[in-house]
Amino acid sequence: MQISRRAGLVALLVLAACGTPASQGDADPPADAAKVASAPSAQAARRVNPADTVLLSQALQRAAELPRLRGILVSQDGQIVLERYTGGAAADRTTNIKSASKSVLSALVGIAIAEGHIRGIDQPISDFFPAYFARQDVDPRKRQITVGNLLSMQSGLESTSFNEYGAWVSSPNWVNAALEQPVVDPPGGRMLYSTGSTHLLSAILTRATGRSTWQYANEKLAEPLGFRIRPWQRDPQGIFFGGNDMYLTPRQMLRLGQLWLDEGRVGDRQVVPAAWVRESVRQRTSSPWNGHGYGLGWWTRTSRSHAVHFAWGYGGQYVFVVPDLRMVAVFTSQSDGPRDVGHLPAIHRIVDETLVPGAAARLNSRE
């Protein structure tokens, strides 16, 4: 990460401590309603904790050692305390958030349930695909799959991700191809991560609301947060890709995290039901590969005894939310190329070893 190495790191830390924005030329400042300021207030800057300053410096130093990292953005109580970009990234430049968009789909499903378009997470998906489920050869276990099973990656259908991803997105009908996957576990059973599941949710949203997922996302989520989402990839039938290839800026990703931190509220408006926010981060299953918990479109784990909820996309696109520390941390990374097995653990170590203790130090200095 080319941040002019040590000189740049020290300069940024001084700017953060003095309450001066670390990024320049930001054409997309966060909306007031999103409760995200461009820099700490003067009063907060006067209370800089020496331990926190050291930890922020360490966070930037570690970030500088990750060549795939493109941005790091941290806020606490709606105030940005750290922000830096490299490799052409910027606060107002969109990035492919990959599977972190699954958390956006979760928000949209929660809104659609509140509006009555979907009865609830226990509604069977067969209600939304009558032509497919009218077939006599459909495995009867598929009729047990619910909206909630899709959200929690417990549909029981064989995954369309990983080695099966290429074949799935090359199929002429992504919805049918996802539904045609064989049942390899009872619905509600073990976690089977599959982008096909969230694409089925996009199709359900489209059919239930009468609007495209893109239109519904802008109207119900993005516009209340003060921005618009540009159109992204669609399947051969015109359904917007559910759970991948959505483009947001780092500041917009921060607003999503802040929305979850504030239990779905923006100012005096309840954008996402608070009960849905709480349910989305309640662990229902866990990944057999990394041990992280999974709720309804959100990952969950702990860091130094603090609950951490996060949206996660391929390559290192993250929105971390630490409720009891009032902290949101966004990381963006190079999203193409082969997997870097060391990159993701390194980001988690930055959170665990610098950002979380730093946020605790800031809270302690205010008491």
Q: Map out the domains of the chain as residue ranges.
A: 99-225
Lowest mean pLDDT segment, chosen from 140-154, 251-265, 306-320, 327-341: 327-341
* Mean pLDDT within 13-31: 35
* Mean pLDDT within 281-287: 98
pLDDT band of 337, cuts 50, 70, 90:
confident
* Mean pLDDT within 122-141: 97
pLDDT band of 1, cuts 50, 70, 90:
very low
**In percent, how much of the chain has pLDDT > 70?**
86
pLDDT band of 366, cuts 50, 70, 90:
confident
pLDDT band of 48, cuts 50, 70, 90:
low
Pair 158, 181: CB distance under 8 Å: yes
* Mean pLDDT within 4-8: 39
Q: Which class is 99-225 in CATH? A: alpha beta
How far are the Cα atoms of 38, 110, 163 from residue 156, in angstroms, in the given order?
44, 22, 17
Q: Which residue has the tokens 């190079």?
A: 334
Work out the mean pLDDT of the chain and round it to a whole number: 89
Cα 294 from Cα 167, distance rounded (Å)? 26
* Mean pLDDT within 241-249: 97
Pair 176, 155: CB distance under 8 Å: no
* Mean pLDDT within 346-360: 98
Q: pLDDT at residue 2 above 50?
A: no
285's CB contacts (< 8 A; 6+ apart) are 152, 153, 154, 190, 191, 293, 294
* Predicted pLDDT at 49: 67
